[in-house]
Amino acid sequence: MAEILFYHLTESRLEEALPPLLEKSLERGWLVSVHVGSEERCAALDSHLWTFREDSFLPHGIAPGPHSARQPVLLTVGGEADNGATVRFVTDGAAIPALDGVDRLVMMFDGHDQLQLEAARAQWKTLKSGGHALTYWQQTPDRRWEKKA
């Protein structure tokens, strides 16, 4: 069964918090997918991941695409991960993807966006009622993650 973590953004935006988490995932040799809420958000995140830091290269692609299956990080609006990702990030209140073959599901939501808060609460209830073990992490004022539940 997948390890499911809810990450509550209170001090930073997704564009600041996601890249370091993706880098750590790649350092561990994990294949990753990032499930976003819209095509526009996918395009904006794609642009950001190429330029978020001058001294960094975060290899990624967008699904569907001709090389989706070969991407270490795959951005997608759909529920599938063509790259066989075992670690899946869900943002913007996007739907919970299929959990078959998933080791870790990270639900990231913006604490300043009421719609995302409501979506996260509903997703928590859905996953909890499905028998999954969940943990809840919140940002501290210094932008570190603190386990709250």
Residue range 8-23, pLDDT digits in tens = 999 999 999 999 999 9
Over 90: is that where the pLDDT of 54 sits?
no
Buried (b) or exposed (e) across 69-97, using 16+ Cβ within 10 A? eebbbbbbbeeebbbebbbbbbbbbbebb
Question: Which band of pLDDT confidence, cut at 50, 70 and 90, is reported for residue 57?
Answer: confident
Q: What is the pLDDT of residue 1?
A: 85
Task: Name the average pLDDT for the chain.
Answer: 94
CA distance 41 to 37: 7
Residue 99 vs residues 55, 57, 86: alpha-carbon distances, Å: 34, 28, 9
- CATH number of the domain residue 111 falls in: 3.40.50.10110
CA distance 9 to 121: 14
Over 80: is that where the pLDDT of 34 sits?
yes
Residue range 59-93, pLDDT digits in tens = 999 999 889 999 999 999 988 899 999 999 999 99
What is the domain count for the chain? 1
Over 80: is that where the pLDDT of 32 sits?
yes
Tokens coding 118: 């409501």
> What is the extent of the structural domain holding 57?
3-147
